[in-house]
Amino acid sequence: MSINFHKILVIGDVAVGKTSLVNRVVYNSFSEKYKATIGCEFGIKMMKIDGEDVRIQLWDLAGQDRLGGISRLYCRDAHGAIVVSDITRQDTIDKALVWKSIVDDQTKTQSGGSIPMILCVNKYDLADEGLKLSNEELQKFAIEKNFAAAFFTSAKTGQNSETAIETLIREVLKISTVKNNKIEESISTGATKIMKAKYAKKKSCC
């Protein structure tokens, strides 16, 4: 049986909850402890979308990477991206456009267009102490800035985490014309190289 394989970037500023969102989607878990991502971490999620088996590799990129630009190695062969912001921090919503622009510049679809991206305004469980942003305003912002969709999410409660990723994958499937083992091999090789480099760097620091 053939399985669609898709690489999804998870990007956004520091401490917006990217890793927590990935952990909620992949493991259905949440931790209050904060640990900054260094470089890139990975998570695998199997899903069934409209009757199709889909294997998703989520690339959780460190928020600091925006300062030097996202490495082309991270973006290579990406099929879609989740841009994460924090409802308690207006600057992270403004900077979502910067993150989107970087990915737009770094990677394209097979036809040369931009890969599908969604915006997740995370930490919605803290909405009472956050920005006064209505869903109508969020959707208008997403349309104007060419996001495929936008959601208020909470990694803590799980709100909209599954819905967001399912929506993105449906957008990816609209433009994906191949069930490509070669791309999966390329992505897996890239991930292995990154993990080896991280391990070597960590070992040299000991």
- Domain range for 198: 4-204
Cβ-based burial of 47 (10 A; exposed 0-12, middle 13-18, buried ≥19) = middle
Q: What is the mean pLDDT of residues 159-188?
A: 77
Q: What is the CA radius of gyration of the chain?
A: 16
pLDDT of residue 182: 46
- Count of domains observed in the chain: 1
In 3D, which of 163, 119, 172 has the Cα closest to residue 142? 119
Q: What is the mean pLDDT of residues 19-42?
A: 86
pLDDT of residue 70: 67
pTM, full prediction = 0.84
If you average pLDDT over every residue of the chain, what do you get?
85
Phi, psi of 51, deg, nearest 5: 85, -5
- CATH number, domain containing residue 171: 3.40.50.300
Q: What is the mean pLDDT of residues 189-206?
A: 49
Is residue 1 pLDDT above 70, yes or no? no
For residues 160-189, one letter each, b for 16 or more C-beta atoms within 10 angstroms of the residue's C-beta and e for the rest, the string is bbeebbbbbbbbbbeebeeebeebbeebee
| 112 compared with 195, residue with greater pLDDT | 112
> pLDDT tens across 143-155, in order?
999 999 999 999 9
pLDDT of residue 189: 54
